[in-house]
Structure 1
Amino acid sequence: MSLNRLFRLISIALLMLFLALAISLVWIEWSIYQNGANSVPALRNFRLGLVAMEKLSAERGPANAYMGSRPGERDALYQQLKAARVTSDTAMDQLRDALEKDPTLRQSPMFDRLRTVQQALGPARAAVDRIGLQPEDQRTTLYVVSAVNGMVDMIPVMVRLTAELASIVDQSDPDLRDGLAGVRAAASLREYAGQIGSRFTAPLIIHRKLNSDEVIEIGRLYGRIELLRSLVSAQLASYSKRPEFARAIDEMDKQYFDNGFQFLDYLLQVGLKSGDYGITPAELAARYVPQMKSILDLRDLLLDDMMVRAEQRNVQARNFLASVIGLTIIACLFFQLLMYMIRKRVVRPLVSATDLVVGLVDGKLDQEIPKGKYDDEIGGMMRALRVLKERILERNSLAKEREALITQLQTSSNTDFLTGLLNRRAFFSYGEQQMAVAQRYERDLSVVLFDIDYFKRINDSYGHLSGDAILRGVAQTASQLLRKVDVLARYGGEEFIVLLPESDLAQAQAVAEKLRAALAHKDFEIDGGQHIRISASFGVAALVDGRGLEQLIKLADTALYVAKEQGRNRVATSA
């Protein structure tokens, strides 16, 4: 019997056996998908996200209380605020650790959103601290509202993050969709409930009536809360027959929608009429925040129930997998009987050839490919593998040469040959990306444009080689003084440009002044071993709504012209 015919007969038998095994494995994978085998870790991450958002939201209570503190209670309230911040940071760090452990989540936008929130916490908290340290008569509505909004503005980012985590849970186990929607509605309900309390912070601190904008915003939040209340009830319709959920819903209605809303209505009426509230922000937090605990209790009850259901499905999946493993063992015993018939002529050479193919695919090109012992299909495969190895070696060599050439071309096209900095084209390419990010997320962005004073005199007096040395020295000095995120480029001739992400006009002006002083006090060595000093003039402009990158550069250029007109070696700004 020829090897081909023998292999065909055994292939039929293997096909029948492994077809059953493949169907079983496919069914297992389908069951895992349907029953949410991956839903438990996804639920844990989702819960960490909700807790992080909740703790960040809860931090507003002590923050509002501290901003409205009086000298006698300031220290005690600040200690409470510090404790709340530690709790928020711990929750954020736990979520960050969970995202970092999952390679897919670590590379997702969720990780960037969390990092954005953590970076924004510093300035927001600093604004709260400044107001808390001010005397009561110096606290203004503008700064209080700005500080409150600074803490509130981070919540939409956290909402998007938790929504993405919820989407992963939904994909893992669609049967949890109703509970998932209820949890998200409860979390949103708690957040909007907290925001209503925050809207009274400024009036309580300044001791004034509510203005029209605050009344409208409170009314809008009222509407959202009522809508979420209906949504929670609708999503929990299937849970309402269970006693623990019925009690939790009743407790939420009693504690928050009865007691909490009555308190808010009282404050609203006082705010509309007299503004004489009779309570401080600390007393507001002490009376109002506990009323929201029932919302969190309902949320946690739903999460616990979803976790139990997901774990039950995992147990079912494991039991099903065990039964398939038993079937696989039986199939393997039968497979051993068939393997005995063709072990010498087919299996061993085929396994060897397979290992060689896998090795070639994995890049193990140093392995030796033996000659076939028989003049058959396996021998032909070995000869083909030797040819394939030679072709792969040739292809890899050509690919390396091509990649090296591409890298060299990319580097030369983006780099100024003299200074080693980005050139003008590369700067605009990167700058447009940063501009889009800054405008989308409403971040600060500034541009510093500077050039060397009297550079033509240097070229005329010392030669162009000396001028080139000065340009390289300026590039090196400026690069050492900038952050890693800042972008320094040669704009043309003796002009340089700096892009400063996350920097407002004042910060950019400080950077420009630092660069100006460093250049003015540095001795630059030129050809012939001489040392000379130079100065530079700087123009600074910051991003304002509606401006594009070119407009920003034009403003910086105008400011640079002003610096030149005012005597050079100075920094000028453009509003």
Structure 2
Amino acid sequence: MRLTRLFTLISAILALLVCGVQGRSLWSEWRQYQSAERGLQALQLVEASMRAAEKLSFERGPSNAVMGDGYPAAAAKQERLRSARNDTNNALRQLQQQLDQRDATAALDQALREARRNVDQLAAQPPDGRTPAQLNSAVERMYALVPLALDTVTAATHASEQAYPRITRLLVKSRLAVELREYAGRLGSTLTVPLATAQPLTREQQERLQFLRGRLEQLRQLIRMNSSEADQAQAVQAALARMDSDYFARGQQIISAVEQASSSPRASGAQRYGMDTAQFAQRYVPTMAPILAVRDALLQEAQLQAHREFQQARHELGWAMLNGAAILMVLVALLIIVRVRVVAPLLRATRAVVRLGNGDFTAPSRISRRKDEIGDMLRALATLRENSMERQRLEQERAHLIEELKTRADTDYLTGILNRRAFATAGNLRLRGAREKDESLAVILFDIDHFKSVNDCYGHDAGDQVLIRIAEVVRATLRDGEILARYGGEEFVVMPSYCGLEAARALAERLRVAIEQEPLTLSDGYILRVTASFGVAVAHGPHAALDDLFHSADLALYRAKSQGRNRVETQL
């Protein structure tokens, strides 16, 4: 094995080994960084879904107030409902913008429209026309919206938990806080129908209250269960304490007061509860705000933890890249030193000897002017080198001359385009291609109308100028791949790329218009306008022949001339 190949092989092996080890390390760090970045995005999406769920839950209060009011509902209550709906719409719009799939919230949007339409229909009826079943149905429809909002980002929740396993408990507890807020809202909404109808709680409603209380207490205990240092953060503990004092103490007292009023034998009629749905919402809804504060505190701790891990992943990726770059730079520097100081001198000496042995004198060798036999030999080699270079120069001139003669043989001397012989060669080659591809091949044959009169009136020099200018106009109109040649005299031929008869006819019409509209300025300044007649023919199939194609185009050209010239005719 040659020294150059051996050195290249060794260098390649070392480079591959180093790059493989560094690439594996960088790929691992890059995947961790991407996973952390996707986890942050997913965490933001989870937060947006919880915000949307919060607004959907909050909208139930104004909705219950409107359904429990007279007809029409008070303007202030209607305004609060419109404001709540606008807040919900904005939250859902932000959630939709963060989702990759446009139709991810389609089911939620449809359910929200139906629930709102149901609320508006009930609000448009007199209070006596609103049955408890209808009110319960409207409330249940609003209940179903929150789970739909949370389900839209289930995949994002899983992605965030996979990227940051240590925040899984925080995300679970934040979702439990959302559920706690939802069940607290359901607890209050259970009283919507009794408050709206001034009727006592039914047995079913009392059982539902007990069930919801039990569920609320269960969620409360799950949220308060400490499982990590983040759960014991000061902000989380403060939010939990406020939730206990505001909701589980004061909020539950409001619920108990309504229950006692319902079971009181002395209360009856519209004064049974001493409040309507709107007044109940104004007292009860503010007590649920600390639940959302718990959710926000848990999400904030999760985001802080995720950002710390993301920064750590980015720093590790940066260090891995710097480390890999440093190792590669050291390796390259070592290889360059070895090549320049050891391999290159050996290569130069070897190549000089090999050149002389193979008779390659294209590059001069570094020789000394010695006065001995070695000097005579080197001078003789220099003479041979000069003779070899002269022979190469003569061969290049001969090849250039042959190429120039070939070009002249294929080019029309006047217009600079292909002549008839070259066009026939190119046409037969394209015809074979059309047969192989089973495509149509078109030929456009045209000549200048009344060209003889141009020669007779203005001279043959003017006729030559017309031919040159017509060739330039047509060549500028054609696209790459479309062949133009002078067929003879004032007759030209165009072969477009593979196309049908209609496309070829359209091209011929463009050429006809271009020639007709082009002013031809003669050498004496006289402006001359000429027209041309066109014949178009198309061949297709295995039996297509170039001579038959030309003959059909020539017949079409003859019809164009006989029918008035300056027109395009196609084969019959």
TM-score, with structure 2 as normaliser: 0.55
Contact 1:49 1:95 in 2 (8 A): yes
Please give the alpha-carbon distance, in whole angstroms, between the structure 2 residues aligned to 1:236 and 1:73. 48
In structure 1, what is the equivalent of residue 278 of structure 2? 282
Please state how far the C-alpha of 1:205 moved relative to its aligned partner: 0.8
Shift of 1:150: 1.5
Larger Rg: 2
Quick check: 1:181–1:235 contact (8 Å CA) kept in 2? no
Q: Does 1:65 align with 2:56?
A: no
SS in 2 for 1:192: helix
Greater shift, 111-120 or 132-141, is seen at: 111-120
Aligned to 1:223: 214
Aligned to 1:332: 328
Change in Cα spacing, 1:55 to 1:310, as seen in structure 2 (3 Å) is: same
Q: Which amino acid aligns with 2:96?
A: R
Structure 1 residues 130 and 49, CA, compared in 2 at 3 Å: closer, same or farther? same
Q: Does 1:193 align with 2:189?
A: no
RMSD across aligned positions (CA) = 2.8
Picking from 252, 257, 275, the partner of 1:261 is 252
- 1:155-554 equivalences under 5 Å are 155-235=146-226, 238-239=229-230, 241-273=232-264, 276-334=272-330, 336-337=332-333, 338=335
CA contact (8 A) 1:67 1:128 kept: yes
CA shift digits 1:193-235 (9 cap, x unpaired): 0011111111111111122222222222111111100100115
CA gap of 1:16–1:237, structure 2 versus 1, over 3 A, is closer
Q: TM-score, normalised by structure 1?
A: 0.54
Deviation string, structure 1 residues 23-51 (Cα, Å, up to 9, x no partner): 421441464378x3432211111100000
Query: Aligned-pair distance for 1:237?
Result: 6.0
Distance 1:93 1:168 in 2: 22
How far apart are 1:151 and its partner, in Å? 1.1
Q: Using the alignment, how far apart are the partners of 1:237 and 1:19 within structure 2?
A: 39
- Distance in 1 (CA, whole Å) between partners of 2:263 and 2:11 is 88
Aligned-residue identity in percent: 30
SS of 2:152's equivalent? helix
Quote the offset at 1:240 in angstroms: 5.4
1:339-382, Cα deviation, whole Å (9 max, x unpaired)? 8969x9xxxxxxxxxxxxxxxxxxxxxxxxxxxxxxxxxxxxxx
Deviation, structure 1 residue 254: 0.2
Could you tell me whether the CA contact under 8 Å between 2:33 and 2:317 is conserved in 1?
no
Does 206-215 or 1-10 show the bigger shift? Answer: 1-10
Amino acid at match of 1:187: V
One-letter identity of the residue aligned with 2:229: S
User: How far apart in 1 are the matches of 2:233 and 2:307?
Assistant: 20
- 1:47 to 2:47 alignment: yes
CA separation of 1:332/1:132 partners in 2, compared to 1, >3 Å: closer, same or farther?
same
1:272 CA displacement: 4.1
CA contact (8 A) 1:37 1:310 kept: no
CA contact (8 A) 2:230 2:301 kept: no
CA contact (8 A) 1:50 1:162 kept: no
Q: Does 1:15 align with 2:16?
A: yes
Residues 47-126 of structure 1: pairs in structure 2 closer than 5 A = 47-71=47-71, 74-100=74-100, 106=101, 112=103, 114-126=105-117
C-alpha offsets along residues 49-98 of structure 1, whole Å, 9 cap, x if unaligned? Answer: 00001101110000000111135852211111011000001100100010
Residues 33 and 173, structure 1, Cα contact 8 Å, conserved in 2? no
Displacement of 1:145 in angstroms is 1.0
Contact 2:239/2:294 (CA < 8 Å) preserved in 1? yes
Deviations 1:286-339 (A, max 9, x none): 001000000101111111122122112222222222222222322332454548
Superposed CA deviations along residues 380-434 of structure 1, whole A, max 9, x for unmatched, are xxxxxxxxxxxxxxxxx99xxxxxxxxxxxxxxxxxxxxxxxxxxxxxxxxxxxx
Q: Are the equivalent residues in 1 in contact too, given 2:18–2:328 (CA < 8 A)?
A: no
Amino acid at match of 1:176: I
Change (3 A) 1:113 1:192: farther
**What SS does structure 2 have at the residue aligned with 1:279?**
coil
| CA distance in 2: counterparts of 1:164 and 1:257, whole angstroms | 32
Instruction: Give the length in aligned residue pairs.
Output: 336
- Specify whether residues 7 and 212 from structure 1 end up closer, same or farther in structure 2 by C-alpha distance, changes over 3 A only: farther
What secondary structure is seen at the aligned counterpart in 1 of 2:273? coil
Partners in 1 of 2:77 and 2:43 — Cα distance? 35
Extract unaligned runs of 5+ from structure 2: 345-435, 438-572
Cα separation, 1, equivalents of 2:315 and 2:20: 21
